[in-house]
Structure formats: C-alpha cells, structure tokens
Amino acid sequence: MPTDLANARVVVTGGAGFLGGVVCRKLAERGCNHVLVPTIEDFDLTTESGVERMYAEMKPDIVLHLAAEVGGIGANLDYPGRYFYANMAMALHLIEHARQVGLEKFVQVGTICAYPKFTPVPFQEEKLWEGYPEETNAPYGIAKKAAMVMLDGYQRQYGLKSSYLLPVNLYGPRDNFDLHTSHVIPALIRKCVEAQDRGESSIECWGTGSASREFLYVEDAAEGLLRAAEVMDEPTPINLGASFEITIKDLSELIVRLTGLAEAGKENEAIRWDPSKPDGQPRRSLDTSRAKELLGWQAQTSFEDGLKQTIEWFREHRKDADARV
C-alpha cells in the first residue's frame, strides 16, 4: 500500500529552500497537516546533537532530506572540503538517528554529480559505479552517493524503509540567483537582466559552451519526489529528468533571446565565451524510464515555458532573490 502522506508527520530538511518550498506546498495540497521544517537557525543538521534534537522535538514519521550545501562550478572549486563534510555529515546523522527512533521512511535526494565523468548518455542508474565523478564536483557527488550506500545497508540490516532520487539540474522561480553559488540557468538570467539594466548588449559566459545539460522544472521534481515517498520502500536509485539535452551554448542563446538582451538571429553576438574557465562534466542527460516504471512519473513542463516563468519571477522579485542569497 502507498504511504499515506496526509496523515503523517513529515519533516522536510531544506524545506525553506528552492525545491523544499514547492515540496511543502505540494504536501499541503495532499492534505498533510503536519509539515515540519527544521531551519538552519534552530537546527545544525551537520552535527549529531542538532539532528538528535530535531528528531526529539519534531517527532517525524517521514523525513524528506532535501537540505544540501551546493553551488555551481566556481563554488565547488572553492569549497570542496566543506561540501563533502556538510553533505556527508547531514546524511550520516539523519539516517542513523532515523534507525534509532524507528522512522517509518527516509527519502534522500541525491545528485547526478555522483555519476562518472564519462558516463554514456543517457545516464542509466546502473552506470553509477563505472568511474570517478567529474573532478570539480566529485566531493559533493561522492558524499551524496555514500548516503545511498548507507540507506541500502540500513534497509538490509535494520529494515529502514527509504527511497533515493537523482534529480537532474533544477530550475524555476525562487532559485538561487547568486552569481557565485548558483547553477547555470539562474546565473545566465541574472547576467542578462542586469546587463539590460546597465544598458549593455552582451554577457560573459564560462567555458566554451560545448558541454550539454538537461534541466528539470522544480514543480515536476517536487512531484517526482513525493511519488517516491509514497510508493518506494527501498533506495533503488531513480533518475528524475525531463528527457532532453541542450548545449550550454544553445541554452545561453535561448536565455539571451527570452530575456530580450538580443533579438532572434543575433543571440550569439551577445555572448563572450571565456575558454580559460572549465566547462564541467561534458554531457548530462538522463534515462528516466525507471521513474516512469516505478513511480508512474514523468516531467510535464516544457523547457521554454519553464524558462519564461523563471525569468518573469526574477524580474518581479529581484529583492526577494537577493534576500534569499
């Protein structure tokens, strides 16, 4: 029988964040009256004492672990040690204390940064162990993948029910738009909008634009996560993606056009590439057949519609975006 989220006490770590905010809203729409969000000000989940106190005070039936310390290529280069420690520590303590309190289910959000650098495209979950991750984000990716191994061990030894999701790069309203720590879509949107504000006609982008990525609208990702919470009892890795691939060059030109920085046909003139900066992993695109089979889930939002909504939100909520950073 599917897990009844409506009558459960559900803790959403990272519930005040980008994906977490949508997850909390969707839980409420499912009739869940006990959605609990441990804020960073009240609970330091990188410490065992903070995690122990969270379980004692919130008494969850289900934990959706979305909290992470993460950023783009620049942030990963600057904070590799911190990103490994913070993400590993949170998972380690949260899973161990889930066992101790007899938690009904633990849902872990992983990352496709865990995939090997040269994974054949589209990425299949069976390929997770066939090589080392792309170097710039390996510490973060390996920490997240270790949580999957821990959940597998705890399911087999202690019977802890869990699920493990591998979402592709997310985007949408309320994303992190800080140029140093954000991912590529919000960074490009901000660069284009601010260039327009300054009366400039071009932006600078890292790398060569040859790398490819896949992007998933945050609303679709939240729905996939909750479906896993409802129907999965073991941490079989499941990709969440939109089943398409776009180069960073084409993405940049699309955002340049949608923001109005350049008119159609002149998008390439508005971008200055800096090939001295890294491109990151060469390609990212997911095989999402397992999600469709096990969760009955697939993405619903078209990429261009999602980008338009994200651009519109940033223009209307610039102060909110800066405050979130």
Return the pLDDT at 74: 82
Q: Where are the domains of the chain?
A: 9-171+218-241+284-300
What local confidence, expressed as pLDDT, does residue 323 receive? 58
Residue 282 has pLDDT above 90, yes or no: no
List C-alpha distances in Å: 325 to 70, 174, 175, 181.
13, 10, 10, 9
| pLDDT above 90 (res 199) | yes
Quick one: pLDDT band at residue 42, thresholds 50, 70, 90?
A: very high
Peptide bond into 167 cis (omega under 30): no
**Mean pLDDT score of the chain:** 94
**Lookup result for tokens 């993460």:** 70
- Residues 10-31, mean pLDDT to the nearest whole number: 97
Give the rounded distance of the alpha carbon of 94 from its chain centre.
19
pLDDT of residue 324: 58
Q: Who's near 266: CB < 8 A, 6+ residues apart?
A: none
How far apart CA 102 and CA 61 sit, in angstroms, is 9
Tell me the angle at which helices 218-231 and 18-29 cross, rounded to the nearest 10 degrees.
60
Does residue 209 register a pLDDT over 60?
Answer: yes
Give the per-residue pLDDT at 229: 98
**β partners of residue 205:** 273
Average pLDDT value for residue range 196-200: 95
pLDDT given for residue 280 in this prediction: 80
Residue 151 in this model has a pLDDT that exceeds 90 = yes
Phi, psi of 75, deg, nearest 5: -65, -40
Give pLDDT tens digits for 72-108.
778 888 999 999 999 999 999 999 999 999 999 999 9
Catalytic residues, by residue number, are: 140
Percent of the chain having pLDDT more than 70?
99
What is the pairing mode between strands 212-213 and 246-247? antiparallel
Mean pLDDT of 126-142: 95
Q: Return the pLDDT at 115.
A: 95
Query: Does the pLDDT value for residue 120 go beyond 80?
Result: yes
Tokens of 265: 């046909």
Q: What pLDDT, on the 0 to 100 scale, is given for residue 263?
A: 87
Render pLDDT for 224-244 as a digit per residue (tens, 0 to 9). 999 999 999 999 999 999 989
Q: Which pLDDT does position 28 carry in this prediction?
A: 97
CATH fold of the domain at 9-171+218-241+284-300: Rossmann fold (3.40.50)
Place of tokens 């309190």: 101
Query: Model's pTM, two decimal places?
Result: 0.91
Using the predicted structure, report yes or no on whether residue 325 has a pLDDT greater than 80: no
